[in-house]
A and B are shown apart, each in its own frame.
Chain A
Amino acid sequence: MTGPSLTASIHAVLLKELRVLFLSPLATVFLAGCLMLGGLFFTLGVSLTGEASLRNMMPNLGAMLLFTLPLLTMRAYSEEERSGTLELLMTVPVGPLAILLGKWLASMVLCSVFLAFATSWGWLLAVWGDPDLGVLATSYLGLGLCCGAFSAVGLFASSLTRDQMVAGVLAVCFLLPSWLAGAARDLTPAAWQPVLDRLSFTEHLRGFARGVVDTADVLWFVAFTCVFLLFTWQSVESRRWR
């Protein structure tokens, strides 16, 4: 007897995760909270600089996602383990990779909803100003990639512990150096700057915020995401033999 294909398994897990997300107030709180905070950064950026772009708020939005996305993903594995459903999941013929990708895609769907709502900022700029639509598009692309990377870190942290809060704090701790590297850039000797630039997600968002899609930046986010998804996979796999 053969099990379902990987795509079908991912689809099944994705639907199950979305159901769970939307059956709890978590998704709604995440969306409303992020949009309110993002809206605050947006209005501050526009009223302070008068610029018709999201450039000024990109680092702030990145930092906001750094703290909020772990709240969304912290329960992904921790809750399953605490309630004992993870062991059950591991026995069904979908495999840990499909579970992982399903969970990650579910958080990406939620992030996409957030970004879809966030396009209202671009629309507001277009109503009263003359924004560069190419720059707006790449800004949203950068934020999407950022969401993917942070979700992967959140999932990894969640796979390490059965306590949701610990998982959330761990995810923030994993992501903090990448945020601080950007802030520390101008305070460190010049020799350190290339290293900090490579670590900092804000530096990798800079190009997107200006309208540039740089393969190096795209690959950085993709590699970041893949590495943490791989870590999560290995972490979940390790439960089989631990």
Chain B
Amino acid sequence: MNAGWGRRLATGANGLLVALFGLGLAVGTTLLAERYRWRLDLSEDGSASVAPETDGTLRRLSAGDQRVTITAFSAQRKDAESFVRDRMMRDLLREMDLRSDNLETRFVDFDRDRLTAEALGVDRYGTVVVASADDRVDLIDREMFRHKRGEGKERHLDFVGEAPIAAAIEQVLAKRSFKIYSLAGHGEHEIFDRGLGEWKGLANLIDAQGFVVKTIDLLRDRSESGAVAVPDDAAAVILLGPKRQLGAAEEEALRDYLLRGGRVGLYLDPGGAVPRLLDEVGVAVVEGVVLDREVIRPFVDRPLLRYRSHAITAALAEDDAATVVSRAAPLALTTLEGVDVAPLLQTSRTGWVERGDLRQPVYDPGVDREGPVDVAVAVTVRAPHAWARGGKAGARVLVVGDSDLASDEVLGEGPGNPTFVANGLRWLVGADDRMGRVGRASPVRRVALTEGQLVTLRAVAMGAVPFAALVLGLGILAMRRRR
């Protein structure tokens, strides 16, 4: 080998090494940057990042050893909206994916990849399956997107899927230690109809908290000894709109349960049954329906409510997310020793209790009661109250003058309803540290064009702008050549 070749070889090898070193450095840097990434969300409403609550959920997921898989199926291809839906879902999945190593996300084209759909037993477009080990939550398209009315016939699409997906992750991660009994036998609402029932939303909401709900008829489902009693494993008992009075034995069973530090949630309605044990904590459901002078037809029975300071309502007040009730029963409070009654939802002074004809609601000072009117209260019992005498302090009672606020019809109407209901249940079972916030909506920013505007847009974007560039380029060319 002559000296020339030797020099070429050495220089060539040197160049190759430099190139390889540079490549290695670049790959290493990008891999490190992926691991220690810093993200700056410059969108005006911060919607390009996940909400702090979702981030918290994903951190908890990362901290554990449980893996969660999210499989999202594409929307039905019927219009341009399906494209937007798919893209927003992909964006969220990617954003979540980046934040936890224990999360695996997959977006599946429902039309193309039927095998995956069949394997997961999914038969609807837009379904999201959140799964971990042997647990799984299915979310439907309706829970992911919401249409909002704009001006005239305009409809805006909001993506609201982040909170339900985060809640589903929490659900599959949660150890289902809280058992809630839903009392039956008095015309209460049945929340387990998972078809097109009125209470599917509540059932999903309870599921998403990781609570196990069982229906119980105290008279029929007696204990092993034959006694009418609330089971020992009950984290809470709820009554959802009872229409008939509870029997004496049932009242006694609930009282006995409260004496053991039990938790009871009462969602009552005007004209419905009211358990007598409420008298013992100074809460009464008075006759009439709560209305508001500020509210006009056709929603006259939906008073404007404000939040009072409490763990259940703190985040809701902060987020300014209204809770909507429909035909609510007014509550009257009496101060008793050993009972802390905290109002949760209350009307302003413009609210009143209508005792006359609801078809012609007019505030009559002689008959009706002036606001503010309490619609929901949280009661905590301590010594020296009779219920705390057994040494088991901490009995809690949640009283809401409306059960419909948790129905499918109203649950989706008030931005604060799902959180209010969920926080109420969390407070009942003592999970005060898990109070949730309102799931935020990410609006799709629209540009609504008329036919004429679309023509102008085309003319400017495809004609005027390229033409301007052409004129500029040719102008420069001509100028330079003239020189």
Taking beta carbons and an 8 Å cutoff, which residues of A are in contact with B? 19, 22-25, 27-29, 31-33, 35-36, 38-40, 42-43, 46-53, 55-56, 113-114, 117, 120-121, 124-125, 128-135, 137-138, 186, 190, 198, 206-207, 210-216, 219-220, 223-224, 226-227, 230-231, 234, 237-238, 240-242
**Which of B117-125, B364-372, B471-479 makes up part of the contact surface?**
B471-479
Contact string against A for B residues 158-199, beta-carbon threshold 8 Å, 1 for contact and 0 otherwise: 000000000000000000000000000000000000000000
Q: Are A223 and B29 in contact (CB under 8 A)?
A: yes
Interface 1/0 per residue, B26-68 and A, CB below 8 Å: 1101100110011111111101110000000000000000000
The residue from B19, B108, B454, B473 contacting A28, defined by CB atoms under 8 A apart: B473
Q: Which residues of A contact B40 (CB under 8 A)?
A: 212-214
Given A27-B473, A117-B468, the answer on whether A50 and B447 have CB atoms closer than 8 Å is: yes
Are A241 and B458 also in contact (CB < 8 A) when A25-B473, A31-B473 are?
Answer: no
Residues B446 and A52 in contact, CB atoms below 8 Å apart? yes
Q: Are A124 and B448 in contact (CB under 8 A)?
A: no
Judging by beta carbons under 8 Å apart, are A212 and B49 in contact? Answer: yes
B48 and A212: CB pair below 8 A? yes
Specify which chain B residues have a CB less than 8 angstroms from the CB of A25 in the assembled complex. Answer: 473-474, 477
CA distance A241 to B3 in the complex (A): 12
B residues near A213, Cβ cutoff 8 Å: 39-40, 42
* A121 with B43: CB separation less than 8 A: no
Query: For B107, B453, B460, B473, which residue has the most chain A Cβ atoms within 10 angstroms?
Result: B473
- Beyond A49-B80, A52-B445, A215-B39: 16 further Cβ-contacts under 8 Å? A22-B476, A32-B473, A40-B461, A46-B447, A50-B80, A50-B446, A129-B445, A129-B448, A130-B446, A186-B109, A198-B34, A211-B47, A220-B33, A223-B27, A234-B15, A238-B15
Contacts of B447 in A (CB 8 A): 46, 50-52, 125, 128-131
A interface: dominant SS: helix
The residue in chain B whose Cβ has the minimal distance to the Cβ of A48 is B80
Q: Is the CB of A219 within 8 A of B30?
A: yes
A53 cross-chain contacts in B, Cβ below 8 A: 445
A130 to B465, CA, bound (A): 21
B447 to chain A, nearest CB (A): 3
> By DSSP majority rule, is chain B's interface helix, strand, loop, or mixed?
helix
Check A190/B106 contact, CB under 8 A, given A49-B80, A51-B84.
yes
How far in angstroms is the closest Cβ of chain B from A72?
A: 13
Do the beta carbons of A40 and B462 come within 8 Å of each other?
yes
Do A39 and B461 touch (CB < 8 A)? Answer: yes
A interface footprint on B75-110 (CB within 8 Å = 1, 0 otherwise): 000001101100100010010000000001011110
**CB-nearest residue of chain B relative to A229?**
B22
A56 to B37, CA, bound (A): 25
List of A residues within 8 angstroms of B26 by Cβ: 223-224, 226-227
The answer to whether the Cβ of B149 comes within 8 Å of any Cβ in the partner chain is no
Question: Is there a chain A Cβ closer than 8 Å to B470's Cβ?
Answer: yes
- B80, A117: Cβ atoms closer than 8 Å: no
Inter-chain CA distance A215–B41, complex, in Å, is 11
The answer for the CA separation of A75 and B445 in the assembled complex, in Å, is: 42
Q: Which residues of B contact A29 (CB under 8 A)?
A: 473
Q: Are B94 and A206 in contact (CB under 8 A)?
A: yes
| B359 contacts partner chain A, Cβ-Cβ < 8 Å | no
Closest to A227 in B: B26
User: Which of B108, B460, B477 is A124 in contact with, Cβ under 8 Å?
Assistant: B460
Known contacts A31-B469, A35-B466, A230 near B476 by CB under 8 Å: no
Q: Which one of A36, A42, A234 contacts B19 once the chains associate, using CB atoms below 8 Å?
A: A234
Measured between alpha carbons, how far is A51 from B443 in the docked complex, in Å? Answer: 11
User: Which residues of A lie under 8 Å from residue B23 when comparing CB positions?
Assistant: 227, 230
User: In the bound complex, how far is the Cα of B472 from the Cα of A33, in angstroms?
Assistant: 14
Residues of A within 8 A of B47 (CB): 211
Cβ of B22 and Cβ of A212 under 8 Å apart?
Answer: no
Binding-face segment, B6-14, B281-289, B390-398: B6-14
Complex contact B44–A134 (CB within 8 A): yes
A215 touches B48 (CB 8 A): no
* Alpha-carbon gap, A223 to B18, bound state (A): 15
Choose from A22, A48, A186, A216 the contact partner of B107 (Cβ within 8 Å): A186
- CB neighbours (8 Å) of B474 from chain A are 25, 28
Q: How far is the CB of B374 from chain A (nearest CB, A)?
A: 40
- B residues 428-445 touching A (CB-CB < 8 Å): 444-445
A22 touches B473 (CB 8 A): yes
* A220–B28 CA distance with the chains assembled, in angstroms: 11
Please tell me if the beta carbons of B457 and A124 are within 8 angstroms of each other in the complex: yes
- Contact B445–A47 (Cβ < 8 Å): no
User: Which residues of B have CB within 8 Å of A38?
Assistant: 461
Partner of B8 from the list A31, A212, A226, A242 (CB cut-off 8 Å) is: A242
